[in-house]
Structure 1
Amino acid sequence: MLWIQAFLIALLVCLLTLHFLKQLWMRRHYPPGPLPLPVIGGLWRIGLGVSLDTSTKLAKQYGKIYNLWAGPIPTVVLSGFQAVKEGLINHSDDFSGRPETNFVKAMCQERGIIFSNGHNWKQHRRFALVTLRKLGLGKKGIEHRIKEEAQQLVETFAQANGQPLDPSLPITNSICNVISVLTFGQRFSPEDEDFQKLVKAIAFLQKFGGSVPQILYDTFPWLVKHLPGLHTKALSSVEIARSFAKKELEKHKEHQTLHDPQDFIDFYLLEMEKAKNYPNSTYDEENLAQCIMEFFAAGSETTATTLQWALLLMATHPDIQEKVHKEIEDVFGSSCLIYYQDHKKLPYTNAVIHEIQRSNYVFLFGVPRQTEKDVNMQGFHIPKGTLIIPDLRSVLLDPEQWETPEKFNPNHFLDMDGRFMAREEFLAFGAGDRVCVGEQLARVELFIFFTSLLRAFTFQLPAGVKELSLVPALGATTPPQPYKLCAIPRCSA
Structure 2
Amino acid sequence: MESLSILTLFFIFLLTLLFLSSLWRQQKRSHVLPPGPTPVPLLGTPNYLYRDGILRYYPEFHKKYGKMFTLWQMTDPVVVLCGYETVKDALINHTEQFSDRPLYPALDSYTKGFNFLSSNNHWRLFRRFILMTLRNVGLGKRSLEEKSLKEAELLVEAVSEMGAKSFNPTQLLSSAVTNAIGTILFGQRLDYKDQKLLDLISHIRKHSDNIFSAKQQICNMFPVLLKLPYLGQIIMKNSLCLVAYVREQLDFHKETLDLFAPPRDFIDHFLLKIKEEKGNKDSKFCDTSLIMFISSILAAGSDSTTATLKYCLAIIARFPHIQAKVQREIDDVTGSQRPPGMSDRARMPYTNAVIHELQRHLDLAPAGFYRSLTQDIAFRGYTLPKGTRILPYLSSVLFDPSQWETPDEFNPGHFLDEKGQFRAKPAFMVFSAGKRECLGVSLARMEIFLFFSALLQKFSLCPTTGAQMDMKSLRFNKRTIIQSWEICAIPRSSHTD
- Contact (CA 8 Å) 2:215, 2:235: kept in 1 or not? no
Aligned to 1:242: 243
Post-superposition Cα deviations, 1:51-102, rounded to whole Å, max 9, x if no partner, equal: 5242222222222112111113321111110111011001111111122123
Determine if contact 1:325/1:455 at 8 Å carries over to the other structure. Answer: yes
Q: Which residue is 1:40 aligned to?
A: 43
User: Equivalent residues in 2 for 1:200-215 (5 A)?
Assistant: 200-207=202-209, 213-215=215-217
Q: Which residue of 1 aligns with 2:86?
A: 83
Given the superposition, is the C-alpha separation of residues 103 and 27 from structure 1 closer, same or farther in structure 2, using an over 3 Å criterion? farther
Match of 2:165 in 1: 163
Percent identity of equivalent pairs: 36
Rounded to whole Å, the distance in 2 between the matches of 1:390 and 1:479 is 25
**Shift in Å at residue 191 of structure 1?**
4.1
Give the drift of 1:194.
4.7
1:391 and 2:412 aligned: no
- In the alignment, structure 2 segments of 5+ residues that lack a partner are none
- Contact kept, 8 Å, 1:366 with 1:392, in 2: the verdict is yes
| 2:106 maps to 1:103 | yes
Q: If the length of structure 1 is used for normalisation, what is the TM-score?
A: 0.92
Equivalences, count: 488
- Report the counterpart of residue 315 of structure 1 in structure 2: 317
SS at match of 1:486: strand
Alpha-carbon spacing, 1:254–1:209, altered in 2? closer, same or farther (3 Å): closer
* 1:19-38 map, 5 Å: 19-38=22-41
For residues 312-343 of structure 1, give each alpha carbon's deviation from its aligned partner in whole angstroms, at most 9, with x where no partner exists. Answer: 11111111101101111122211144211210
**Paired amino acid for 1:247:** E
C-alpha distance in 2, partners of 1:336/1:157? 17
Check 1:492–1:368 CA distance in 2 against 1; reply closer, same or farther (3 A cut).
farther
Shift of 1:14: 2.6
The separation in 2 between residues aligned to 1:51 and 1:95, in whole angstroms, is 21
**AA paired with 1:245?**
V
Could you tell me which residue of structure 1 aligns to residue 12 of structure 2?
Answer: 9
Task: Give distance in 1, aligned partners of 2:32 and 2:104.
Answer: 21
Q: 1:171 to 1:225 in 2, by over 3 A?
A: farther
TM-superposed CA distance for 1:202, in Å, is 2.5
The alpha-carbon deviation at position 30 of structure 1 amounts to: 2.1
Alignment-derived partner of residue 346 in structure 1:
348
Alignment of 1:94-133 (within 5 A): 94-112=97-115, 114-133=116-135
Give distance in 2, aligned partners of 1:211 and 1:473.
20
Q: Which moved more, 1:42-51 or 1:361-370?
A: 42-51
Counterparts of residues 312-461 of structure 1 (less than 5 Å): 312-461=314-463
SS of match in other structure, 1:298: helix
143-152 or 271-280: bigger deviation: 271-280
In the alignment, the residues of structure 1 paired with residue 123 and residue 445 of structure 2 have an alpha-carbon distance, to the nearest angstrom, of 24
Q: Which of 68, 71, 75 is the equivalent residue of 1:65?
A: 68
The separation in 2 between residues aligned to 1:388 and 1:104, in whole angstroms, is 19
TM-score by length of 2: 0.91
Q: Which amino acid aligns with 1:95?
A: F
- Consecutive unaligned residues in structure 1, runs of 5 or more: none
Summarize deviations over 1:74-132 as a string: whole Å, max 9, x none: 211111101110110011111111221233324433114x1234442122111111111
1:142-153 equivalences under 5 Å are 142-153=144-155
Give the conservation status (yes or no) of the 8 Å contact 1:34–1:45: no
Is the 8 Å Cα contact of residues 73 and 219 (structure 1) preserved in structure 2? no
What amino acid does structure 2 have at the position aligned with 1:307? L
CA deviation vs aligned residue, 1:389-437 (integer Å, no higher than 9, x gap): 1122221111221111122211110112211111111112222111222
Q: Taking structure 1 as reference, are residues 55 and 106 closer, same or farther at Cα in structure 2, changes over 3 Å only?
A: farther
Q: Is 215-224 or 452-461 further displaced after alignment?
A: 215-224
Output one character per residue of 1:368-400: Cα deviation in whole Å (capped at 9) or x when no partner: 211111121101111111221112222111122
Shift of 1:48: 9.9
Q: Deviations over 1:135-189 (max 9, x none)?
A: 1111110011111211121111111100000011111111011111100000133
Taking a change above 3 Å as real, the CA distance of residues 62 and 104 of structure 1, as seen in their structure-2 partners, is farther
Does 197-206 or 124-133 show the bigger shift? Answer: 197-206
Match of 2:247, as an amino acid? K
User: What amino acid sits opposite 2:420 in the alignment?
Assistant: G
Tell me the residue number matched to 2:55.
52
Which SS does the other structure have where 2:482 is aligned? coil
Contact 1:78 1:391 in 2 (8 A): yes
